[in-house]
Structure 1
Amino acid sequence: MATPMLQSAAELLETSEPALRLIISILIGYPLALVSRYCLFKKDVFLIHLFHTLTGLWIAYFNFGFQLFHSFLCILVQFLFLRLMGRTVTAVGSSFIFQMGYLLTGYYYTATDHYDIKWTMPHCVLTLKLIGLSLDYYDGGKDEGKLNAEQKVSALRHVPSFSEVCGFAYFYGGFLVGPQFTLRSYQWLVAGELTDCPGQPPNSIVPAIRRFSLGLVCLAIYTIGSPYLTDSYLLSDDYANQPFWYRCLYILIWGKVTLYKYVSCWLIAEGVCILSGLGYNGHDSAGVVLWDACANMKVWQYETTPLFTGTIASFNINTNAWVARQVFKRLKFLGNKMFSQAAALFFLAIWHGLHSGYVLCFSMEFLIVTVERQVEALIKDSPTLTTLTQNMFLRPILYVVQQLIHWLFMGYPLVAFCLFTWDKWSKVYSSVYYCGHIFFLVLLFATPFLRRVLVPKKIKENKSQ
């Protein structure tokens, strides 16, 4: 689907044509949201579903040509599961197996050793939507007393129509890069209920512009920095010949800039959702209108937290919330929180793709989070460490050191995530002597011994009771 005009524009901007098509497709959501606000608000629901379906199909065709049939086929099959199998475990299992199987098969047949923008990119977003749809429909058949608070909000009491499922799946604000949202939220949007002015379009233009502007800032940082901080340089002899401190610093800065690629897309897409009304999230305790229902980023927390768990909680929020709701919490029957977390992270790894780098990345996340929680508990229980960390003169120094460690080892697992294959990521990790693996494994086994020395016996006894 290459076109001379887009090719020329991509060359001028020093990017690829698929990447340019992706950005254009996300940005086109803003005029589409304006059409929805001023022409379709409170109109016939079938007309709104049709608008969302046709615009989503056009976006799919613009980016991937006739490969859009992959998404349409999976939507059709999912609808048939709902209609023919009903609210059964069989329907949920069939949905999960088919949708994940289709996605993984797509990964297998389209895989390369570098990142490509192809039909599997939006399809992974769609896969979660459709699996979540089957689970929410299944929950709709349970007694309300057996549902948790989240399930009560998202449960579907009636089987959706085909036009409704298509509109939900192809909605222009979330088709390509997310965010994840439930069919119930989509139904409220179509009904005109997601507004701070009942009966009128929401006052969401200014909040949408704010997220759009912040997204452009992040996109500018990535666009300016990425040509100087490339994945290929990590594999070069020049990088390998640099001093150890330089190699670590490069990973730190490279990782930070690379993540802005995802941050910028999510922020711009969130602005579309806010403009349409989907971002409406009621009011806070002070009566201020909230527009964060589709927030995939907590930017201030992301930029300032020195904790790995803080960054994870502020990054790709809706996808993480989906996995927490539909995978982690549904594995409660395992009786072990750590097993449930490991299974959820493994699901996230294979959902991203079949490359070994994804499994390693999320394995490192599991290790890092486990160690961080152990260290936090140690500091909290040790009077000596608590006094040190709360010292007003030491706190700024400790914060800087903690941030350096934090961002170095945020970039460290990202190496495997971005380089995909064992021969590539192992080369980079070898060049820095697997310092991340060693650092956290040493802490993992050292922390229990440090507790024996630094935590008073009385506190240990209270903890064990």
Structure 2
Amino acid sequence: MAAAFDVYYDGSRIFSWVSDLSGLPLDQVNFVISQILALACAPLFRNTLHPSTTSPATRHTFGLVLGLVFGYFCFGMQAIHLGGLPALCYIVMRTQDPHSMQRMVLGVALVYLSCIHLHRQMYDYGSYTLDITGPLMVITQKVTSLAFSLHDGLTRREDELSADQKYHVVRKMPTVLEYFSYIFHFQALMCGPVLFYRDYIDFINGHTFLKHAPPSSGHLDNNSNSRKVVLEPSPYLVVFKKVVCSTMCAIFFLNLIPSFPIQRVKEPEFLEEFSFPSKMIYLVIATTVCRFKYYHAWLLADAICNASGLGFNGYDAKGRARWDLISNVDVLKFEVSFVLRDSIEQWNKGTTRWLRMLVYERAPRFRTVLTYALSALWHGFYPGYYLTFMSGALFTFASRAVRRSIRPYFVRSRPLKAMYDLATMITTRLVMGYITFSFLLLEFWPSIHVYLHLYMFLHVLGVLALLLLPVLLPPPRRACQPEKSGAVCSNGVVSAQH
């Protein structure tokens, strides 16, 4: 494995001594160092390079150059692919008919990304090395969302657009500097969160804070005679909290993962000697521990964006500034949600918006299937991914059936409602461990063996819920309502709002 890593990983070796001292792989060391440097540079955007004193071109250039430096530091010559994919897509945007350009960009981006996925699967199978596939996945989201926004702005009338499409619409082709700055800006290059072009341009031009009316408690200075000065809220308390939470997640992961490795589920001892409840408890704990790795990376990336002034999303009802415009995850809501739908919607939220924007709101039919297909292809080709996607679809539909048929009997009193919520929260935790271990394990037959040793019991219950509940406990009748827009989850699950 070490030899394969040396051949496949092309990042800088300057900090090999840190890797040797800490025992962490060099790719992880380089990632953390690049993110710490990005966090240190981020306040320059908010202070030294503030839009009131700095031209957009300078801010574009600063973010672009730092992104290129960090990309080369972490990936070496492989970083050429980070430029290759968006360069090809930009040529398509500039040269093709806007009526079909967006589909061509989507095709080019997915083919390019798929080739990189397959290359890694061939030469570094089953590895969790931090290579260019992660940034390329985010770049794919950026170029395709921009292409669809351009298509809307150049070919469709205002009254033909949905509310989200009106928000994201782009009516002018970006210049080369604007485009590649958007692709490579250092705050979110390494692991997201995905940022849509309209939000990025508002940030560069300094329009973000002007779009949201400040609360009456006084964030506005009207002392000047002819203009209003918006006093921007400080992000540093939010940044501090996210950095602390990110650090704690990293510590939890490093200390707990040796005791709960996901690979243990393939061992005969686990399959033959662990009791049924022990197997389920282990799956829940092991998958939860693995999530701390994602929480660490995503919360740190959120902090970098916020420290630069990126991610402001207005004020809440109490007048407090919100910094969740491009947040990747809400850890607490994900871990303690009462229902599967709510839990999934808090995971990789930018990808949720991307899938909704490209597929769910546009497909005339087979929305759910097409959304799953795009999400699966975007993730790659490991069979474990597809087991998770298919199981996720089943349990999303099953949870809807349970909610429609059983929940009405428990909302008539607060004690019954509390019992129902507790039961669904526990069930959601079990389902999460049950369906996501294969995503981490990556392999098909080992995942199937685990399911068989668990008697496929949750799959069976899910199918029974779909087939029998509507017959045995028909949902109460209610007035017909227009179909509400669904929420598209980061793994492709489309969940209607009930």
Pairs within 5 Å for 1:30-69: 30-42=39-51, 43-69=54-80
Q: 1:2–1:82: structure 2 CA closer, same or farther, 3 Å change rule? A: closer
Aligned equivalent of 1:123, options 136, 140, 145? 136
2:15 matched to 1:6? yes
3-state SS of the aligned residue for 1:292? coil
Which residue of the partner structure matches residue 79 of structure 1?
A: 90
Q: CA deviation at 1:201?
A: 6.1
Q: 1:317 aligns with which of 343, 349, 361?
A: 349
Q: CA RMSD in A?
A: 2.3
- In structure 2, the CA distance between the partners of 1:231 and 1:12, relative to structure 1 (3 Å rule), is farther
Distance in 2, matches of 1:440 and 1:346, equals: 22
Pick aligned residue for 2:195 from 174, 181, 192: 181
| Inter-partner Cα distance in structure 2 for 1:148 and 1:395 | 36
Query: Structure 2 vs 1, CA of residues 178 and 151 (structure 1 numbering), >3 Å: closer, same or farther?
Result: same
AA in 2 matched with 1:312: I
- 1:56-114 Cα distance to aligned partner (Å, 9 max, x none): 1111111110111111112222222222225221x112101100000001111111133
The more displaced of 158-167 and 298-307 is 298-307
Judged with a 3 Å threshold, the aligned counterparts in structure 2 of structure 1 residues 8 and 435 are, in CA distance, closer, same or farther, namely farther
Which 10-residue stretch deviates more, 116-125 or 8-17? 8-17
User: C-alpha separation between the residues in 1 aligned to 2:317 and 2:163?
Assistant: 19
Q: Does the 8 Å CA contact 1:136/1:151 hold for their aligned counterparts? A: yes
How far apart are residue 357 of structure 1 and its match?
1.3
SS at match of 1:300: helix
The gaps in structure 1 that reach 5 residues or longer are: none
Unaligned runs of 5+ in 2: 1-9, 220-228, 483-498
In structure 2, the residue matched to 1:329 is 361
Give the AA of the match of 2:18.
A
Range moving further from structure 2, 160-169 or 30-39: 30-39
SS in 2 for 1:41: coil
Deviations 1:381-431 (A, max 9, x none): 4x4x545xx452x55555444333211210111121111121221222223
Among residues 114, 118, 123, which one is paired with 1:108 in the alignment? 118
1:132 alignment partner in structure 2: 145
| Matching residue of 2:269 | 238
Mapping 1:10-409, distance limit 5 Å = 10-42=19-51, 43-85=54-96, 87-89=98-100, 91-111=101-121, 112-141=125-154, 142-195=156-209, 198=229, 202-240=233-271, 241-331=273-363, 333-334=364-365, 339-381=366-408, 383=409, 385-387=410-412, 390=413, 392=415, 398-409=420-431
- The number of equivalent residue pairs is 449
Structure 1 window deviating more from structure 2 (361-370 vs 29-38): it is: 29-38
The question of whether the paired residues in 2 share the 8 Å contact of 1:350 and 1:359 is answered with: no
Correspondent of 2:443 among 421, 439, 453: 421
More helix by share: 1
Name the SS for the 1:330 alignment partner. coil
TM-score (norm 1): 0.90
The aligned residue for residue 494 of structure 2 is none
Tell me how far 1:363 sits from its aligned partner.
1.1
Q: TM-score, normalised by structure 2?
A: 0.84
Residue type at the aligned position of 1:364? S
Q: Alpha carbons of 1:12 and 1:411: their partners in 2 closer, same or farther (altered >3 Å)?
A: farther
CA displacement at 1:237 relative to structure 2: 2.0
Residues 427 and 7 (structure 1 numbering): CA distance in 2 closer, same or farther, change over 3 Å? farther
Q: CA deviation at 1:23?
A: 2.3
CA contact (8 A) 1:263 1:297 kept: yes
**Structure 2: distance between partners of 1:270 and 1:20:** 19
Q: 1:199 to 1:288 in 2, by over 3 A?
A: closer
Q: Secondary structure at the match of 2:194?
A: coil
1:361/1:222 CA distance change after superposition, 3 Å: same
User: How far apart are 1:132 and its partner, in Å?
Assistant: 0.7
Whole-Å separation in 2 of the counterparts to 1:143 and 1:310: 34
Percent identity over the alignment? 22
Q: Which moved more, 1:6-15 or 1:253-262?
A: 6-15
Contact 2:12–2:75 (CA under 8 A) maintained in structure 1: no
Residue 264 of structure 1: how far off its partner (Å): 2.0
